[in-house]
């Protein structure tokens, strides 16, 4: 029996697992954080993940050897089945190809779960919470020759898609997206189970106990400082960067799909699709949450990475201002028309100008004028280190004003802030609009940007209201 365990691991310097490169993918990621380890780079794998105590080869992830684990997992195929050939093959392939536990799926019998509780229903799915005492596989314990299961988390989320008893392609597509995207800022999927009562298949995913972004803001008993929000926005942007680096688009990016468990995670990859494949918009319409959808998408045009950026701008403004976009009007064709004409949500009069400018840039009606996710992430990362720039003074003043407002806010004011119109719908649904006008930017910025001082007056802002400081920063990133 082998006695040696893993040696020389340095997981803090690198990603938790290697990347298997494909054409043009992951290159951008390496340029951003310099943490990518390619599966063929043996020397870097030794530095990052150490040497397997059994086969003496470099690991492919923290305490994970792909070749050794694939063999023992394959030997175990005969000991389990979901009862569905497609699911069995799907899970088996994930196990054979897994370079780390985050890329490994397992079939989890439903009886392994306890205290199953209904949480909510979304546009296409139902969510439950459940306890899983056994926990997920983390690594192979070489000394004791058995799987080590992580039991730190007691609660997990079970997600069933509508009509998943027929194991539709959308169900497997969502799970596949979890496997193809680097996981740190994405909600992790651990496996698949099936409810024996209604025969619906369920994804077993990480449970975020603070709920979505709106729940997180609504439940917060303490003022959330701007520095903390900037850190969270960085993580959300990094998660979207990982999605785009995998050459995918999210397609349903809104605050309901930003979940919190102290830190934010991107969830619901059900509509996530390859970005480089031209997709035909079905005649019956498009799916999404109207306030977060880019105007060109509302008109039925191709969904691109730039549409995700528009949605990010909406999420960013909602997070920073704690105001729900278009919460006091119906989400109907009239709103879709006004969005195409340049209508955008109100930006808080006290918001630091550099951040307001970045939001407006994301909202630009012209796709080419929106930042890429790499530019957006690096800009946010730079702005987060605001001690050396003018943003420090803006944020210091904003925090002072906002904290006073927060502490003096009554329960009634808080209720009004999160109250929505009966016809304001924030779950994904089928939308079908005809003959919407060509998207333009509003020349009257006062329609969504209210003045509190001279730096925010409409007269001092051109039709392209991006500060010189922010434009220079994005140009610098593009020339790297």
CA–CA separation, 19 and 48 (whole Å): 12
For residue 455, the model assigns a pLDDT of: 35
User: Helix H segments across 246-390?
Assistant: 295-298, 305-321, 333-340, 353-362, 373-384
* Whether the Cβ atoms of residue 150 and residue 138 lie closer than 8 Å to each other: yes
Reading phi first (left if > 0) and then psi (alpha if -120 to 50, else beta), residue 116 is in beta
User: Helix H segments across 138-286?
Assistant: 169-180, 213-219, 226-245
For residue 425, the model assigns a pLDDT of: 92
- Hey, do 5-206 and 211-431 end up sharing a CATH topology, with the first three levels equal? no
For residue 167, the model assigns a pLDDT of: 66
DSSP tag of 112: G
Query: Cα separations (Å) of 20 from 60, 102, 178, 399?
Result: 10, 14, 15, 43
For residue 171, the model assigns a pLDDT of: 78
Beta partners for residue 445, in sequence order = none
In this structure, which topology does domain 211-431 adopt according to CATH?
A: Transferase(Phosphotransferase); domain 1 (1.10.510)
Task: Give residues with Cβ within 8 angstroms of 475, minimum separation 6.
Answer: none
For residue 246, the model assigns a pLDDT of: 86
Pairing of β 189-194 and β 106-107: parallel
pTM of the model: 0.87
DSSP tag of 438: P
Q: Which residue ranges of the chain lie beneath pLDDT 70? A: 1-4, 8-12, 21-35, 123, 162-169, 272-284, 385-389, 410-418, 443-480
CA–CA separation, 5 and 3 (whole Å): 7
For residue 471, the model assigns a pLDDT of: 62
- Domain coordinates in residue numbering, the chain: 5-206, 211-431
In this structure, which topology does domain 5-206 adopt according to CATH?
A: Phosphorylase Kinase; domain 1 (3.30.200)
For residue 204, the model assigns a pLDDT of: 96
Query: Cα separations (Å) of 450 from 326, 459, 465?
Result: 16, 12, 14
């Amino acid at each position: 029996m082998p006695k040696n365990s893993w040696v020389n691991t340095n997981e803090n310097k690198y990603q938790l697992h290697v990347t298997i490169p494909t054409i043009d993918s992951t290159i951008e990621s390496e340029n951003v954080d310099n943490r990518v380890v390619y599966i063929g780079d043996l020397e870097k794998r030794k530095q990052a993940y150490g040497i397997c105590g059994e086969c003496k080869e470099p690991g492919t992830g923290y305490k994970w050897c792909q070749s050794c684990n694939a063999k023992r997992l394959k030997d175990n195929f005969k000991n389990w089945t979901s009862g569905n050939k497609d699911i069995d093959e799907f899970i088996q392939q994930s196990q054979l190809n897994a370079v780390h536990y985050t890329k490994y799926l397992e079939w989890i019998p439903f009886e392994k779960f306890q205290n199953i509780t209904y949480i909510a229903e979304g546009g296409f799915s139902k969510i439950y919470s459940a306890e899983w005492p056994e926990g997920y596989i983390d690594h192979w314990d070489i000394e004791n020759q058995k799987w080590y299961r992580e039991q730190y988390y007691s609660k997990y989320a079970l997600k069933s898609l509508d009509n998943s008893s027929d194991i539709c392609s959308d169900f497997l597509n969502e799970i596949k997206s979890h496997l193809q995207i680097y996981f740190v800022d994405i909600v992790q999927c651990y496996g698949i189970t099936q409810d024996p009562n209604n025969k619906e298949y369920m994804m077993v995913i990480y449970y975020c106990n603070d709920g979505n972004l709106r729940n997180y803001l609504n439940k917060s008993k303490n003022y959330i400082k701007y520095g903390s929000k900037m850190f969270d926005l960085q993580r959300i942007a990094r998660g979207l960067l990982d999605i785009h680096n995998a050459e995918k688009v999210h397609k349903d990016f809104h605050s309901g799909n930003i979940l919190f468990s102290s830190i934010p995670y991107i969830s619901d990859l059900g509509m996530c699709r390859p970005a480089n494949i031209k997709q035909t918009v079905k005649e019956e319409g498009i799916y999404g949450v109207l306030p977060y959808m880019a105007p060109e998408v509302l008109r039925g045009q191709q969904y691109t990475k730039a549409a995700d950026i528009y949605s990010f701008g909406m999420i960013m403004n909602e997070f920073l201002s704690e105001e729900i976009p278009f919460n006091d009007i119906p989400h109907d064709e009239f709103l879709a028309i006004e969005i195409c004409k340049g209508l955008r949500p109100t930006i808080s009069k006290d918001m630091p100008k550099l951040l307001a400018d970045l939001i407006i840039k994301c909202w630009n009606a012209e796709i080419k004028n929106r930042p890429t996710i790499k530019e957006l992430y690096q800009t946010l990362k730079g702005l987060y280190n605001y001690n050396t720039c003018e943003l420090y003074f803006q944020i210091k003043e904003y925090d002072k004003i906002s904290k006073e407002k927060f502490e003096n806010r009554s329960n009634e004011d808080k209720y009004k802030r999160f109250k929505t119109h009966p016809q304001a719908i924030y779950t994904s649904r089928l939308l079908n609009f005809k003959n919407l006008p060509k998207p333009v930017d509003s020349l009257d910025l006062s329609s969504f940007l209210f003045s509190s001082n001279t730096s925010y007056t409409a007269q001092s802002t051109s039709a392209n209201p991006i500060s010189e400081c922010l434009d220079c920063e994005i140009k610098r990133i593009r020339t790297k």
